[in-house]
Amino acid sequence: MKPTATLLFSCPDRQGLVAKVANFIYANGGNIVHADHHTDFNAGLFLTRIEWQIEGFNLPRELIAPAFGAISQPLGGTYQIRFSDTIPRMAIWVSRQNHCLLDLIWRQQAREFSAEIPLIISNHPDLEPIAKQFGIDYYYLPITKDNKEAQQQRQLELLKEYRIDLVILAKYMQIISPEFIDTFPSHNIINIHHSFLPAFVGANPYHKAYERGVKIIGATGHYVTSELDAGPIIEQDVVRVTHRDEVDDLIRKGKDLERIVLARAVRHHLQNQVLVYGNKTVVFD
């Protein structure tokens, strides 16, 4: 795969936007490999994702963003430019369960993810051997009522020190404070919640699902915002359960869902396929 640039752009809808964006690429000699557009008529918003080969593009990389800015600014738009050979750095936050962590590492090694994983943070020491095995730095930062603020400060420092672009809460099982979320660049923290949101927000969703007697359970990959389990949803999936499934069975079946839904959400993000607006996502897959 040759390196590509990806433009994610949104602005108030008006005539000629597809042409404007396509012409920007074409006029500079770009070869588009993917282009997808969406208009949310309720929101009056145009959203687009265009990916083109850098090779042969007439603008040097550092000039692409300012050049497109000159187009976006009068349209009242917002945009990002990303390069496929600029590899994002992910931190994975875990608690005691290893299935999502192992799965993310496996996908990174299998090149399903274009990302580096230099850092694991946990409130428990249990998964340190996995970090060791794969040569990833592991920080055990236990959380108590009293140290939460200080540990959070430490977490932010680590993210900075390791130049982390994306935080994955891979069953971290702790609530991230609004201050933390405000500090870290927005829509760069992805959580896997083990229910079909908005059903069963908060703790123990499998126990609640069992109590409610649902016939299907789900998992949700979403960006973290200051409201618990209420951020923009990237991906969801479900699996059927029956009266024979006890809570332990829901947990077991749910683990397979969690791995896959989290992986899809992370991959969409890493492929620069996700545009957030309001509390929603457009996933250009």
Exactly one of 60, 70, 144, 242 binds its own copies (CB under 8 A); that residue is 242
- Rule CB under 8 A: say whether 280 interacts with its own copies: yes
Q: Which two tokens stand for residue 177?
A: 């404070």
- Rule CB under 8 A: say whether 25 interacts with its own copies: yes
DSSP 218: E
- Rule CB under 8 A: say whether 74 interacts with its own copies: no
Q: Which residue has the tokens 């123990």?
A: 204
Q: Residue 122 pairs with which residues in a beta bridge?
A: 94, 140
Site string for its own copies, 139-168 (x = CB under 8 A): ------------------------------
- Rule CB under 8 A: say whether 246 interacts with its own copies: yes
- Rule CB under 8 A: say whether 279 interacts with its own copies: yes
- Rule CB under 8 A: say whether 124 interacts with its own copies: no
- Rule CB under 8 A: say whether 132 interacts with its own copies: no
How far apart, in whole angstroms, are the C-alpha atoms of residue 220 and residue 23? 37
- Rule CB under 8 A: say whether 227 interacts with its own copies: no
Tell me, yes or no, if 146 is annotated catalytic. no
Stretch that binds its own copies, among 65-73, 117-125, 166-174, 227-235 (CB under 8 A): 227-235
Query: Nearest-CA neighbor of 51 among 69, 31, 66?
Result: 31
Per DSSP bridges, beta strands 233-240 and 216-223 are antiparallel
Exactly one of 33, 63, 150, 203 binds its own copies (CB under 8 A); that residue is 33
Q: Which is nearer to its own copies, 143 or 197 (CB)?
A: 197
Q: Could you say which of 13, 229, 237, 248 is catalytic?
A: 229
Q: Which helix (H) or strand (E) holds 236?
A: strand 233-240
- Rule CB under 8 A: say whether 78 interacts with its own copies: no
Strands of 41-165 (E only): list them. Answer: 45-53, 78-83, 89-94, 116-122, 137-140
Site string for its own copies, 38-57 (x = CB under 8 A): xxxxx-------x-------
What are φ and ψ of residue 140, in 5° steps?
Answer: -95, 105
User: Can you count the helices (H) and strands (E) in the chain?
Assistant: 8, 13
Per DSSP bridges, beta strands 45-53 and 31-40 are antiparallel
- Rule CB under 8 A: say whether 36 interacts with its own copies: yes
How far apart, in whole angstroms, are the C-alpha atoms of residue 159 and residue 90? 9
Q: Which two tokens stand for residue 173?
A: 């099982």
- Rule CB under 8 A: say whether 130 interacts with its own copies: no
How far apart, in whole angstroms, are the C-alpha atoms of residue 23 and residue 261? 36
Q: Which is nearer to its own copies, 125 or 278 (CB)?
A: 278
Which parts of this chain interact with its own copies (CB under 8 A)?
15-19, 22-23, 25-26, 29-42, 50, 99, 102, 106, 110, 112, 133, 196-200, 212-216, 218, 232-238, 240, 242-244, 246, 252, 256, 260, 263, 278-283, 285
